[in-house]
Each structure stands twice: as structure tokens, then as C-alpha cells.
Structure 1
């Protein structure tokens, strides 16, 4: 077992190591150049489509609205990474890590845009009359490489049990036990029931719940963070300058102040940024493919706001709270550090973080189940979906009570490896992305 664990750890180091992170961010830069900075010039229009208009007029093909597709994708990405991941990045890489998270998010918006445009363009209707799309489809059809699409689907269907299931369930159980002293098994049982009620109803059920839950949980968390930020508003400009300065002359909190380097700030900022917004991993376009839309570009514009909301908004809120409260350098890391920061910044702050973890993790479970089931459907057909959902729900209970480090490491590795076939598809299909974009805006 130790040998297997060592092998998995080495693969994991590659999957989330500097070469992969460079490839992920490099693809974002490549797409940004080819799309002429579309994520900056069209951001206002994209936010209007996503949050104001919300759906297209008329009977467009698809299962859920633009807004529901965005909320389903946000459900899967706005998770413990926004609470624990940001704290870990700042504790180890220094406050400058937040700057590199911003860079990752800004170029990642172009990546998310490209993923969605391809997902809608190459989507199909399955035997149940539902839309199916994502990297496995645009790699298979767009590149005529079905074997590579199969590789992605295998990675995604298994990775969902770790990053989108057991890790989240255990995070909730741990937070609830620490704050409310509820046994792990009880939290697991409640999570299983609540998840089953939604998951067994399919994408329309998931979309209805996430379209209600996600806005509430994000606004709840952001308002709480804003209370602390505005309580220290005079210090915000200095904090922002401190973040930028630390990006190039970093100071780490964990392991001694002398241990920080620019490479550490970049590595942990980029790694946690990608882990949080999932741009380039290929997960979010699976939800985008279900959107009711006539033109792929419309949903792509909506989808790119996901990365903006996740990284530029929510992660920034967490980072500013850590820095303004001065707790970032106390030697803690992860969710524990964020809890300490919120408690220091406002009465009942610990409860805010605990509730945030519960809502964020629960929504992530819902979103990732859909990603996993669509991947398994690609491999084995529609009849495999219901058994997958049942097994997925069972593993929620397992994850809540057991610390299966090996299973988590394997899932984390597969989560990173998902990016390889997806990035190949994005780079090789860039001309298609540019062509669809030009066609849409020329007609507009």
C-alpha cells in the first residue's frame, strides 16, 4: 500500500506540478491572444447575459437556461478551494499568491469561454432527449480522436468521486463536528439524503436547486467578507499594494519568512487558482452543453463569467479578509486559517465559515455528480447513469466518515490529468473557437 501511495504521489506531483500549471496558464494566454482579449472587452455584455437576461428568448435547443447552466458550473467550482485553498496559497506562498490567482483567473476566462463554445457546438442529444457535451465530445468529433475523448471521460468519471464527492463530504463533516459537535456519521447520513433527493432527479433538478442555492451562498459569503473589508476600508488600498508587492518580493507565513520565493508565490497562486475555478480542466463545459441556446458564443460568454465570479470576486474576498485581519501570518493554514480570520473580523465569524463550507461543499457535490454521470454515459450509454448516481450517493456517506487518503490522491491525480486531453483539444480547435466568435459578432 505504501508503494502504491508513493507511486500515486509522484504522478500527482506531475499532474499538478509546474509543467502542467504552465500549460494551463499558457493555454489561457494563447486563447486570450487569439480572441483579442475578449474576456476584457466583452465582460460587461457577458455579465448582462448571465445575471440580467439569464435566458434566450424563444424555444432554443437545450435542457436548462443560461443562468441555470452557469449556476450548475459555479456550484461545482465555488467550493472549499475558495475558503481553504486561498488560505493555503497565502500561508505558503505569501499574500502575493493572490495576485497570481488573479492572473490565472483573468486568462482562465478565455479558456472557459473556449471550452463552452466547443461544448455547445459539438453537443449531441442522447436517448433520453437530453443534451450531452463536453471535452469527450469535442475531442472525439472536432479532432476525430474518440480514443482521447474516452481517456478524458474515464478520468472525469472517477475523479468525480474524490474532488467532487468524498473530499467535500469529509470537509463538511469535519467543519460541522468542530463547530456544532455533530458526529461524522450523522452529517454523512444527512448529506446522502439531501444529495439523493436532488441528484436522482437529473440535470433539471440539479439546475433548479443550484440556481436557488448558489446565488444565496455566494451573496451570504461575500456580504460577510465585505463587512470585514468595509470595517477596515482605510487599509484596503495598502492591502492591495501589499499583495502586488508581495507577488514579486514574497513573504511566506508557513515555514519561516525567509523561505518564500517568487516561484512559490506563483506556484501556489496558480495551482490554487486553477483548482478553484477549474479553467482548462474540462469539467464546466459539460454543464454549458446543456444550456438552451441557439449560438455557442452566447453560452460561452455566460460561462466565462464563472471564472470571474469564482476567482476575481470570491477568492479576492477571502484573501482580503486574511490580510486585513492580520491573521495570514499566524502559522495556520487551510480552512482553520480562514475561520480564525473571520472570527477576528466579525462576531460569529467562525459560524460564517462553517456555514460557507457546508453550502459550498454541498453544491460542489451536486455539480460534480452531473459531470461524472455525463462522462459515464459517454462510456457506457444512458442505462449506466442511474447506477452511477446511486453509487455516487453512497460514496458521500463513505467520504464523510473515512479519511481515504489513497483514494483522494488518486482522484486528485485524475482530476489534474483531465486537463491533458482537454488542453490538446482547446489548442488544436482554436481556429474553430475564433471562427464561431467572429461569426457571432459579425452578425450582431
Structure 2
């Protein structure tokens, strides 16, 4: 399993985490933004008119309304990326990362417009009478690249588990257990049954449920967020200023945060931006293909709103909560995960600028700068290390007040610990202390810095539950449309059953391997989709011009 994990991480290093990937993603968005003369600005008002039903006709082909297609697609994108993803981006790249998430969203509005329009244009009616669409259909029916369509569909099925199912279930179970104390097996059992009741009913039931969940979850989350923002209103202006100013310089060290280069913040911001709004990935067009309309461009208009709502509004609100509260640069008491923890050779001091600069360059992968990992033994007495020669880095920060225990923090360890190449060998040892935190934990702490106090963390848990559950609903539909393309409508029901079973299994399992596989699958979805829409750029422009001619008439 470790070998397989290393293999997927290696692939991801050449794909999604590679330096070239953000430029491809943003480059396609920038090209279409200029080529179509900034449709995300020119068509924004019209998009709202379409989604509110101004042009709806009940007798047009499709399975659901523009609004429900939008909420289904939004339920797939508004999820853990908005709670965990923003926090993770800021943790890695500082305030600058939020700017690059904005840039990804702004250009992504055009990318979504293009991919949804073209996918909707080549949708088909299946044997069971439902609509099926997505990039695999225009790849097959228009580009005559069956092999590419099959590769995309397979990647979509993998991503439905790796993005929409297993990590979401695991995240919900972990959050509910830490906040409310319910066992993961109970949470997984209840939610997998609820998931089955929703998705076994197909797109009409999925759209009906998501059209209610999405507005509710957004309202709850926004109320909790503004309780923090208004409580720290004096910090909002400086937070905005740091986002913009750091975007072109990188973020300097501040508090426990050791800093981030411009290149690192750019890469992490774009990467998290894609994870948040999925613009260019090709997933949302699958949901939009179900909309009732004869005009593919009109559904493309609706999709312009997705990155705006998902990233420019919701992610910005999360970012302001984290930045204005100041928690992103503070060290907090936590239990250290093995994946976040490294023992470095030598002793580093945060008050020493030379030490900080060396760690800054190393953590930002600056070529030529290398901090050696520690190999040796550590003597521990009553939970505290008594030997030196090393520095423990946890979550990209120098750990403080570190304790070592066995089984629980109430059973301190005494003895010798072996460290090999920066990693603690003994698996049973629990390491705790103060360090930076990231992902949902960082957002939860930030939500306690407002008018609701400690109750704020419950808003994050409830928000995470609704966000992640709705994401699982939407991705089940993406997966079953991909299965329909690959093996026909009869394969959908077995897929849905396995999908629900996977949701239960993930609540009590380690999904690290699945996350790694998903990271690769997302890029395998994204690159063919970007290639395809570039191939059809002239057809896209012609479709837009024809649409407006009809509107004038």
C-alpha cells in the first residue's frame, strides 16, 4: 500500500502538482476570456435571468430546470474545498494563495461557460429516457476520439469515489466524532442509507434534494462566517491588502508561519482553486446536461455563476474569516499527524533570521536549498525529550511544547525513540504539541473567534456535513453518467449500490491512498477536456453568435 501511495504521489508530481499544470489551466481560461471578449462580465446579468427561469419552457427536452441543474453542479463544487481547501491554501501559501484562487475562479467562469455549452450541445437521450452528457460525448460524437472519451469516463468514475465519495465520508465522520462524539461506524451507516435514498431516485430526486440543501448550507455557513468577520472588522482591510500585495511578492514569515515564495503561493492557490470550483475538469457539464433547454449556450450562461458563487463569494468569506481572525499564523495545541511531521537535523530558532530563511527556502522547494533530515535516537523522560540535535517541524512550523505518549496523552512515554530519515519509527507513539494547523481544523478554530465563541466550531461541523454530503450526491450522478457512457444504463444501479457501500466503508477507513489516486484522476479528466474545448474554439464562438442572433429576434 505504501508503494502504491508513493507511485500515485510520484505521478501527481509530474501532473497536478507540477509547475506547468497551473499555466495550462489558467492559459486556456485566459485564451477563451480574450477570444470570447470577457463573457464572464458581458453575460453575467443574462446568466442570472436564465437561472431565475425567465426563459424556461416546460416542454423543452431535459430532466430538470436551469436552477436545479445549477444547484446540482454547485453541490458538487461547494464542499470541503470551501472549508478545508481555502484553509489549506492559506496554510501553504499565505494570503497570496487566496488571490490566485480568485484568478482561477475569474478565468474559470469562462472555462465553465465553454465546457458546459459544448457538452450540452452533444448530449444524448439514453434508453431509459434520461439525458446524458459531458465531455465524453463531444469527444466521441464531435471529435471522433472514442479512446479519449473512454479515458475521460474512466477517470470520472475513479474521481467520483476519490473526490466525491470516500474523502467526503471520511471527513464527515472525523468531524462529527471530534465535535459531537458519535462513532464513525454510526455516522457512516446513517449517511450511507440517506445517500442511497437520494441517489437511487436518479437525477430528478438528486436535483430536488440539492436545490434545498445548497441554499440552506450556504446560509448557515455565511451567518457563522460574518459573525467572525464583524467581530474582527478592524483586520478585514489589512487582510484584503495582504492578499493583493503578497500576490506578486509571496508572503513573508509571520508568527509561526515561515513564509511562502510567489511561485509556491501561485501553484497552491491555483491547485486549490481547481479543487474548489472544478472549472476545466469536465465534471459540471455532466450535471448541466440534464437541464431543460434547446439552447446549449443558455445552459453555458448558467454555469458562469458557479465559480463566482463557489470561489469568489464563499471561498473569499472563508479566507477573510481565517485571515482577519489571525489564526493562520498562530500555533495551536494539536495531535501531530505522521504525514505533517518531520524531524530535521540541527536546532532551529524562530528568533534567528538565518534559521528562518533556511527553513523558508527548504519548505518552498527552492532549488539548491536542502535541510537534512534527522536520523538517530531521542531520549524521552516522562513524555519530554531530554536529548537535542534535532528540530521537530509539524505542519510547516517549528513545533513547541512537544510531548510523547503511548495510547493517550495521559500515559507519557519514557525511553528511547528511533528516528529514521526524519520519521518516527514507532507507530504506537502519540505526538502532541503546539504548531500551525490546516484544513478544516484551521477553519473551525477561526470560527470560534467571533460572536458565537466556541459554538462557532459546530457551525463548521454542520457546514462540513451538508457540504460534503451534497458533494457526494452530485458526484454519484457524474459517475453514473460516465458508467452509462461506458457500459449502458444497466450498469448504473450496480454502480450506485457500490457507491453507497464505499461511502460507509470510508467513514471507518484511511482514505489517504484514495486521495492520491483522485489527484491523478482529476488531471486525467482535466487535460483531455481542455484539449477538446480548444479544438472546438471556433465552433464555440459560432454558437455564441448564433445564440445572440436568436435572442435579438
Match of 1:296 in 2: 296
Match of 1:188 in 2: 188
Q: Distance in 1 between matches of 2:254 and 2:503?
A: 32
Q: Aligned to 1:248, what secondary structure does the other structure show?
A: coil
Q: Aligned to 1:418, what secondary structure does the other structure show?
A: helix
Match of 2:422 in 1: none
Q: Deviations over 1:296-331 (max 9, x none)?
A: 111111011011100000000000001111111121
Q: Aligned to 1:185, what secondary structure does the other structure show?
A: helix
Q: Cα 1:252–1:358, aligned 2, differ >3 Å: closer, same or farther?
A: farther
Q: Which has the higher contact order (CA 8 A, sep 6+)?
A: 1
Match of 2:445 in 1: 340
Query: Which structure: greater strand fraction?
Result: 2
Residues 93, 252 of structure 1: 8 Å contact kept? no
Q: Is the deviation greater in 257-266 or in 374-383?
A: 257-266
Q: Distance in 2 between matches of 1:170 and 1:310?
A: 22
Q: Deviations over 1:183-213 (max 9, x none)?
A: 0100000110110000100000100000011
Q: Cα 1:440–1:194, aligned 2, differ >3 Å: closer, same or farther?
A: same
Residues 84, 338 of structure 1: 8 Å contact kept? yes
Q: Deviations over 1:89-115 (max 9, x none)?
A: 111101111011000000000000001
Aligned-pair CA distance for 1:254: 9.3
Does residue 322 of the first structure (1) align with residue 322 of the second (2)? yes
Residues 139, 148 of structure 1: 8 Å contact kept? yes
Structure of higher CA gyration radius: 2
Residues 253, 328 of structure 1: 8 Å contact kept? no
Q: Distance in 1 between matches of 2:125 and 2:133?
A: 9
Match of 1:362 in 2: 469
Q: Is the deviation greater in 345-354 or in 315-324?
A: 345-354
Q: Cα 1:403–1:54, aligned 2, differ >3 Å: closer, same or farther?
A: farther
Aligned-pair CA distance for 1:55: 6.2
Residues 104, 274 of structure 2: 8 Å contact kept? yes
Aligned-pair CA distance for 1:416: 2.2
**Matches of residues 232-381 of structure 1 in structure 2 within 5 Å?**
232-251=232-251, 257-330=257-330, 331-347=436-452, 348-381=455-488
Match of 2:513 in 1: 406
Residues 161, 392 of structure 1: 8 Å contact kept? yes
Q: Distance in 1 between matches of 2:169 and 2:55?
A: 32
User: What is the TM-score of this pair, normalised by structure 1?
Assistant: 0.97
Q: Is the deviation greater in 219-228 or in 283-292?
A: 219-228
Does residue 43 of the first structure (1) align with residue 148 of the second (2)? no
Residues 63, 291 of structure 1: 8 Å contact kept? yes
Q: Distance in 2 between matches of 1:377 and 1:237?
A: 50
Q: Distance in 2 between matches of 1:275 and 1:307?
A: 11
**Matches of residues 81-96 of structure 1 in structure 2 within 5 Å?**
81-96=81-96
Q: Cα 1:434–1:157, aligned 2, differ >3 Å: closer, same or farther?
A: same
Q: Distance in 2 between matches of 1:253 and 1:345?
A: 25
Residues 72, 287 of structure 1: 8 Å contact kept? yes
Q: Aligned to 1:344, what secondary structure does the other structure show?
A: coil
**Matches of residues 40-119 of structure 1 in structure 2 within 5 Å?**
40-50=41-51, 52-53=52-53, 56-119=56-119
Q: Cα 1:279–1:255, aligned 2, differ >3 Å: closer, same or farther?
A: farther
Q: Cα 1:54–1:169, aligned 2, differ >3 Å: closer, same or farther?
A: farther
Unaligned runs of 5+ in 1: none
Paired residues, number: 443
Residues 92, 255 of structure 1: 8 Å contact kept? no
User: What is the TM-score of this pair, normalised by structure 2?
Assistant: 0.78
Query: Which structure: greater helix fraction?
Result: 1
Q: Cα 1:267–1:56, aligned 2, differ >3 Å: closer, same or farther?
A: same
Q: Distance in 2 between matches of 1:30 and 1:345?
A: 42
CA RMSD of the aligned region, Å?
1.5
Aligned-pair CA distance for 1:229: 2.0
Match of 2:430 in 1: none
Residues 79, 357 of structure 1: 8 Å contact kept? yes
Q: Cα 1:196–1:255, aligned 2, differ >3 Å: closer, same or farther?
A: farther
Q: Deviations over 1:96-143 (max 9, x none)?
A: 110110000000000000011011110000000111110100111121
Match of 1:166 in 2: 166
Q: Distance in 1 between matches of 2:254 and 2:488?
A: 48
Q: Aligned to 1:440, what secondary structure does the other structure show?
A: helix
Q: Cα 1:432–1:53, aligned 2, differ >3 Å: closer, same or farther?
A: same
Match of 1:394 in 2: 501
Aligned-pair CA distance for 1:33: 1.0
Q: Deviations over 1:403-424 (max 9, x none)?
A: 0322331123112221111111
Q: Distance in 1 between matches of 2:259 and 2:323?
A: 19
Q: Aligned to 2:192, what secondary structure does the other structure show?
A: helix
